[in-house]
Amino acid sequence: MSEDLSGRRIAHYRIDGVLGRGGMSVTYRATDVRLGRKVALKVIGEHLAPDAEFRERFVDEARNTSAIDHANIVPLYDFDEVEGLLYIAMRLVDGQDLSGHIKEGPLTPARTLMLLAQVAEALDMLHGKGLVHLDVKPANVLVTQKEGVREHVYVADFGLTRRGATGHRTRTGDFLGSPTYAAPEHLRGEPVDGRTDQYALACMIFACLSGRPPFQGGVQEVIAGHLGSVVPALSQVVALPPAIDDVIRKGTSKDPAQRYANCAELVNAARVALAGVAQSSAPAQLGPQSGSFPAQSPVSGPMPVQQGQYQGGYQQQLQDPVRLRPPNQVGVSAFTSSNKKERPAWFAPVIAAVAAIVVIIIVVVILSPGDEPARQPKTSSAPSLNIGEETTSKKPLPTSVPVRTSR
């Protein structure tokens, strides 16, 4: 989708600028003019609108997301079609996706556990409703701060989410998803459930602690690794206790029945394994650093399993071929490109209070009376009578004056 809709209006949304682009959609920063709030508006390419299969997938994404109410899942506000344009309006999240954090280097064990515990909670809730995300990966985990307390996680992109489904492919057999974190049953098109997302989450634990996904290389190498190879021992890549190898190995078992009961149990097992180093700094690299790959052009359209190269998205070095996902990042954030530092929440109220105090003082000074003039001694208005002087009054003087004696 090449046309930039910035400055235009779709329904009651004014498009303010591009947040990210993908082969199938563009996500814009937009304003809901009815409610006056900022949103992330995902607009699907016009060339895909006539595709019945794609439209069905689009409606599924909107309905699945709108039915979910969880603190760690990006809320969906609205979806519709206007003049041949399909769109989804969702919360504008101010933050950076997890892949951007991993690109900066391995995360500390404590931070990894704190972030992925939130992802696990969201996924378990999703699985409890009979849904499977099917595209769990760092690029679909948005990290922000909520109320300045701690980093808060939002799981995004439910474009592949299914209820009681098999590993998702198009009718032509193309695989839809990210092979980098895909479970074997997903790649083979077999029945999937919550343990499929758990496999991807275990791969994310590996990526967060090592700075790279467990299997790397071209598409065929990555898929072959997930289908037939054991995930490398993390303790041989970074300086971590060997107990974490057993946790990741169980979470990425080729047989879903051998994995943990749920995602929270996986993260709790990792917490126990890392108990001795949970508060330490990022683990030191033991092997050669292979988390970066040469930049490649993004791929548009669905990717057949047997074709193509391991190509990138989200402007990350951990590059994935992905379909129907949040578009490639523009700037530093998956959903926002603003780099401005916001003032603390208390700043505006304090300034307003100081201004009010100054105004009150000025008013008091202006309205207070000035210094009173010195009072003059009172003079009697009654006429005085001086003995020996004539009075001009023609009124006769009283012949007697009553005298009050004091006792």
Task: Give the residue numbers of the binding site.
Answer: 42
Helix (H) or strand (E) holding 254: none
Strand partners, 155: 73, 141
DSSP-derived pairing of the beta strands 162-163 and 85-91? unpaired
Work out the burial of residue 214: count CB atoms within 10 Å of its CB; fewer than 13 is exposed, 13-18 middle, 19 or more buried.
buried
For the chain, give percent helix, strand, coil, nearest 5.
Answer: 30, 15, 50
Closest to 238 (Cα-Cα) out of 101, 105, 98: 105
172, two tokens? 């032509």
- Distance CA(167)–CA(165), nearest Å, equals 7
Q: Binding site for ATP: which residues?
A: 42
Strand partners, 30: 15, 39
The 8-class DSSP code of residue 362 comes to H
Contact 123/201 with Cβ under 8 angstroms?
Answer: yes
Closest to 73 (Cα-Cα) out of 60, 86, 61, 59: 61
Contact 5/43 with Cβ under 8 angstroms?
Answer: yes
Q: Is 294 left (phi over 0), alpha (psi -120 to 50) or beta?
A: beta
- Distance CA(325)–CA(17), nearest Å, equals 19
Q: Which residues of 68-80 are buried (b: 16+ CB within 10 A; e: fewer)?
A: bebebbbebbbbe
Torsion sign (Cα): 351, 353, 355, 358: negative
What phi and psi, each to the nearest 5 degrees, are found at residue 202? -65, -40
Active site residues: 135
- Distance CA(157)–CA(123), nearest Å, equals 12
Q: Which residues contact 171 (CB under 8 A, 6 or more apart)?
A: 53
DSSP reduced 3-state for 336: coil
- Distance CA(313)–CA(52), nearest Å, equals 26
